[in-house]
Amino acid sequence: MKIINIYLLNAALLFSGATALAQKQTPPTGGEPRNFTLPAKQEFTLPNGLQATMVPYGEIPKVTVSLIVQVGNVHETEKENGLADITGQLMREGTTNLNAKQIAEQAARMGGSVDISVGSNQTTISGSVLSEYGPELVKLLADLVQHPAFPPSEIERIKNDFKRSMNLARSQPGTQADTKFRMAIYKGHPYGRDLPTDAQIDAFTVEQVRDFYQRQFGAQRTGVYVAGKFEGSAMRQAITSALSEWQQGPPPRIEIAQPVTKPDMLLLDRPGAPQSTLIIGLPTIDPSHPDYTKLRVMNSLLGGSFGSRITRNIRENKGYTYSPHSTIAPRYRVADWSEQADVTTEHTGNSLKEIVNEIDRLQKEAPSPEELKGIQNYVAGIFVLQNSSPGGIINQLNFLDLHGLPDTYLTNQVQAIHAVTPQEVKDLTKKYIRPEDMTTVVVGDKKVITPQIKKFQAEIKKRAL
């Protein structure tokens, strides 16, 4: 009896301890959401059209500088597919004043590094160094953008590296699906081009690179962004001194795409594949539309977060996939929404069916206030994290400039996120996320998935009646 009493006593102590621990681990009630306060920024424009924005941020003695030029893949002609990437890579190889090694050494001496990246719409030349070297960093980046050497000795190596990169990407089912989806949605526009082939890359010459640079780069298309801890007058003087003499170049121009909304099913055969990669989506509104922030909240609830409905359905409940996700991809004055997932081959059709079922459910029934509140906290939290570094601030400011948005897009963002109502989520889903108008791409074992796809298509047709 004594032994039993001891066990009961121990059990009681363990239970009370666990209860106390659980009570201690209960998270505190969250505070009221607060809007983002954009630090006071200094803006000025040089006579050649270059625009500069400087924002003091934080107490860490480092400064980030980005020269963002409105030149990217969207500025390539059909015969220049990939030339912007080659141009950016060759710019890394030095200037008429410094070679690549000397540039790296100078940046390291300042306690940082420099980088060049090329995207669909823009080329970014950036660096981050100790605050005292901010003006020197501006001078170094200005040399890179104004006086690229484009050394002929390096172009074959760069082309070979680029070919390897493209061939690796081309072998990935995710890239195959994404490329096919873009080609369908943005047919006839650079956004809808295939990856450059070996033959296209091999044909590029240094002369073409230099011609592309001369035609596309210039001060009018460039914004300089400075964020971090710096001395304002010294940085302004450095920007003015280093970049005032740069050629004006062409005015900003991006051809606006005319996306295609078309119910279509595109299958890419991957014999023997144990899983299918699928994308289902359609064109949607871009960031300049008043509904865009609301649509982002809706997307996070539907499929754009780990706790979203589609993820819970086909990942947690059904086990069809490991990492499904939906995204809104803003480009320039256009955007597209899509759900993407790698699913087990035998459940390809079921996965598509469940994705559409979740869309239907959200079109018919508004989410509960509690479910929406959790998503709003998540979206607002991500937004706050995006503004928590100098590089993040620069990305946000560049986003405003590219899409023609006011500062209030940032400063009122948290308030706008939390203002979305359950009814608005339902209405937005019905208005913008329409399965009967979606393009679907599936990369998988055609022999196995075709019967599943036909069944899914039949169900979509019934839904549209």
pLDDT exceeds cutoff 90 at 419 = yes
Element (H, E) at 279: strand 275-284
The CATH topology of domain 42-244 is Cytochrome Bc1 Complex; Chain A, domain 1 (3.30.830)
Q: What letter represents residue 381's amino acid?
A: G
Q: How far apart are CA 64 and CA 190, in angstroms?
A: 31
pLDDT at 396: 96
Backbone phi and psi for residue 129, each to the nearest 5 degrees, phi listed first: -140, 175
Whether the per-residue pLDDT at 383 is higher than 60: the answer is yes
**Is pLDDT above 80 for 21?**
no
Average pLDDT over residues 135-158: 98
| Residue 457 banded pLDDT, cuts 50, 70, 90 | very high
Q: pLDDT-derived band of residue 366, with 50, 70 and 90 as boundaries?
A: very high
Task: Please compute the mean of the pLDDT values over residues 300-317 and round it to a whole number.
Answer: 97
pLDDT of the residue at 25: 52
Predicted local confidence at residue 15, as pLDDT = 41
* 49 pLDDT above the threshold of 80: yes
Contact 329, 336 (CB under 8 A): yes
Q: Are 296 and 424 in contact (CB under 8 A)?
A: no
Angle (CA) 131-134-138 rounded to 5° is 160
In terms of Cα–Cα distance, which of 164, 228, 166 is closest to 195? 166
The string of DSSP letters for 117-149 reads EE-SS-EEEEEEEEGGGHHHHHHHHHHHHH-B-
Average pLDDT over residues 174-189: 98
pLDDT for the residue numbered 32: 62
pLDDT score recorded for residue 428: 98
Tell me the pLDDT tens digit for each residue of 266-297. Answer: 999 999 999 999 999 999 999 999 999 999 99
Please determine, for residue 152, whether its predicted confidence score (pLDDT) is greater than 80: yes
Residue 19 has pLDDT above 90, yes or no: no
- Residues sharing a CB contact under 8 Å with residue 203, sequence separation 6 or more, in sequence order: none
What pLDDT, on a 0 to 100 scale, did the predictor assign at position 36? 82
Cα–Cα distance, 305 to 325 (Å, whole number) = 7
Cα–Cα separations (whole angstroms), residue 129 to 97, 207, 289, 394: 21, 34, 37, 15
Confidence of residue 65 (pLDDT cuts 50, 70, 90): very high
Q: How far is CA 277 from CA 169, 268, 447, in A?
A: 14, 10, 15
Q: Do domains 42-244 and 265-464 have the same CATH topology?
A: yes
In CATH, which of 3.30.830.10, 3.40.50.1820, 2.60.40.10, 2.40.50.140 is domain 265-464?
A: 3.30.830.10
How buried is residue 392: exposed, middle or buried, by Cβ count under 10 Å (0-12/13-18/19+)?
Answer: middle
463: confidence class by pLDDT, cuts 50, 70, 90 = confident
Tell me how many degrees the CA angle 230-234-240 measures, rounded to the nearest 5: 120
126 has which bridge partners? 66, 115
* % the chain with pLDDT above 70: 92
Please give the average per-residue pLDDT across 32-53, as a whole number.
90
pLDDT at 35: 80
Domain segments of the chain as ranges: 42-244, 265-464
Q: What angle do CA 296, 297, 301 make, to 5 degrees?
A: 115
31 has pLDDT over 80:
no
Query: How much is the average pLDDT of 207-223?
Result: 98
Residue 12 pLDDT: 42
Q: Tell me the per-residue pLDDT of 338-351, one tens digit each, with 9 for 90 and over.
A: 999 999 999 999 99
Is residue 81's pLDDT more than 90? yes
Mean pLDDT of the chain: 93
